[in-house]
Amino acid sequence: MKTIIVTGGTRGIGEGVSRVLADNGWTVIAVSASEAEREAFEPHESITLRHLDVTDATCVSNLFDGLERLDGLVNCAGILRRDAEYDIEVFQQVIDVNLTGTMRCCLAAHDLLAASGGAIVNTASMLSTFGGPLVPAYSASKGGVAQLTKALAAKWAEDGIRVNAIAPGWIETEMTGGLRADAARTEGIMVRTPMKRWGKTSEVGALVRWLLGEEASFVTGAVYPVDGGYLAV
């Protein structure tokens, strides 16, 4: 049975990914820095919850060093600070979680994944492609995640590790709850979305499952949009 770590795995897209993988027979370690999120998480027999702050190098090392085997890493931990990211301290915080945190976990997982022939799936964004004027740090971090994914894929192929990324669009999560409640903003989003609906976290999870599995054994260095066609318009 394969063991997967999902960072940010207790809410939003990360939770959806955790549940899809667990429902398909994988052993999932869903990690989060938020005790409240872990306490609110609906239990699943194949999901173990652990504390992890991706900005804390010691915390990351302790988690990965304590594992005997790891078959996959899904980096979903991320933050967004709309309207505050032009403050340099906030900017640095967002970069530290979204981009540096992703790299920190990838490095910590490397030896275990090399031993198992495992794979990594990072979380980019549609904002890896174009900028968000209210979220410069989030946009920069997600652009960085896309390029980091390609760099690691090119380097770590020699170690038998595949590295890909997903680039979610407008997905039904707590983070997008305010937008979904705003009829005018939702209408603007739907006008540009060919499929005319919000995505589901389970749909993102299905792509992650495929990228981690044997069916994607010749796929690495790719960034896959999950956006209902939003980037195609």
Q: How far apart are CA 29 and CA 11, in angstroms?
A: 13
- Kindly tell me the burial class for residue 177, based on how many C-beta atoms sit within 10 Å of its own C-beta (0-12, 13-18, 19 or more): exposed
- Is-contact 7 105, C-beta < 8 A? yes
H-helix segments, 117-169: 136-156
C-alpha–C-alpha distance, residues 136 and 227, integer Å: 20
Give the whole-angstrom CA distance, residue 111 versus residue 70: 9
d(CA 184, CA 153): 40
Q: Which residues contact 192 (CB under 8 A, 6 or more apart)?
A: 230, 233
Q: Is 138 a catalytic residue?
A: yes
Active-site residue identified among 86, 138, 224, 230: 138
d(CA 102, CA 123): 9
Q: Would you please indicate which residues are annotated as catalytic (active-site) residues? A: 138
